[in-house]
Amino acid sequence: MLSYTDARQKVIEVVRARGPLTAVESLPLDRVAGRILAEAVVADRDYPPFDRATRDGFALRSSDVATSRGPMEVRGEIRAGAVFTGEITPGTCAQIMTGAAVPRGADAVVMIEHTRIAGRSVFVEGSVTAGQNIVPKGREAKAGQQLLPGGTRLGYAELAITGQVGHTPARVFRCPQVALLSTGDEVVGIGAKPGPVEIRNSNCLSLAAQVALAGGEAVPLGNSPDRVLELRAMIEQGLKSDVLVVTGGVSMGKYDLVEGVLRDLGAEFFFDAVAIRPGRPAVFGYCQGKPVFGLPGNPVSTMVTFELFAAPAIEIVGGATPRPLPLFKAKLGAPVQQKAELTHFLPAAVSWTTGEAVVSVLPWQGSGDIVVLAQSNAFLVVPATKLEWAAGEWVDVMPRRGVL
| DSSP state string for 243-281 | EEEEES--SSSTT--HHHHHHHTT-EEEES-BSEES--S
- Phi, psi values for residue 307, rounded to 5°: -60, -40
User: Of 284, 317, 350, which one is at a domain's C-terminal end?
Assistant: 317
Q: What is the pLDDT of residue 373?
A: 95
Q: What is the pLDDT of residue 249?
A: 86
User: Of 274, 297, 317, which one is at a domain's C-terminal end?
Assistant: 317
How far is the C-alpha of 194 from the C-alpha of 189, rounded, in Å?
8
The answer on pLDDT for 84 being more than 90 is: yes
132-141 residue pLDDT tens: 999 999 999 9
Regarding whether 184 and 264 lie in a shared domain, the answer is yes
Span 92-120, mean pLDDT?
96
Regarding whether 195 and 302 lie in a shared domain, the answer is yes
In 3D, which of 35, 45, 44 has the Cα closest to residue 171?
Answer: 35
Q: What is the pLDDT of residue 29?
A: 97
283-302 residue pLDDT tens: 999 999 999 999 999 999 99
Q: What is the pLDDT of residue 255?
A: 59
In 3D, which of 219, 241, 208, 175 has the Cα closest to residue 34?
Answer: 175
Are residues 104 and 50 in contact, defined by beta-carbon separation less than 8 angstroms? no
1-19 residue pLDDT tens: 999 999 999 999 999 999 7
Regarding whether 279 and 312 lie in a shared domain, the answer is yes
How far is the C-alpha of 219 from the C-alpha of 221, rounded, in Å?
6
Q: Model confidence at 68, in pLDDT bands (50, 70, 90)?
A: confident
Q: What is the pLDDT of residue 69?
A: 72
Could you tell me whether strands 343-351 and 378-382 are parallel, antiparallel, or unpaired per DSSP bridges? antiparallel
The answer on pLDDT for 70 being more than 80 is: no
Regarding whether 268 and 205 lie in a shared domain, the answer is yes
The answer on pLDDT for 252 being more than 90 is: no
Regarding whether 376 and 276 lie in a shared domain, the answer is no
Q: Model confidence at 159, in pLDDT bands (50, 70, 90)?
A: very high
Are residues 40 and 148 in contact, defined by beta-carbon separation less than 8 angstroms? yes
Does a structural domain hold residue 323? no
Regarding whether 168 and 179 lie in a shared domain, the answer is no
Q: What is the pLDDT of residue 138?
A: 98
User: Of 296, 317, 338, which one is at a domain's C-terminal end?
Assistant: 317
Mean pLDDT of the chain: 95
Q: What is the pLDDT of residue 239?
A: 97
Could you tell me whether strands 24-27 and 121-124 are parallel, antiparallel, or unpaired per DSSP bridges? unpaired
Span 234-252, mean pLDDT?
93
Give, in degrees to the nearest 5, the angle at Cα 319 between 318 and 323.
90
Regarding whether 182 and 164 lie in a shared domain, the answer is no
The answer on pLDDT for 126 being more than 70 is: yes
- Beta-carbon contacts of residue 9 (< 8 Å; ≥ 6 apart): none
Q: What is the pLDDT of residue 254?
A: 66
Regarding whether 188 and 309 lie in a shared domain, the answer is yes
Kindly tell me the sign of the dihedral angle through the C-alpha atoms of 36, 271, 378, 324: negative
Regarding whether 333 and 220 lie in a shared domain, the answer is no
33-54 residue pLDDT tens: 999 999 999 999 999 999 999 9
Number of domains in the chain: 4
Find the domain containing 182 and state its range. 4-23+174-317
Are residues 382 and 396 in contact, defined by beta-carbon separation less than 8 angstroms? no
The answer on pLDDT for 122 being more than 80 is: yes
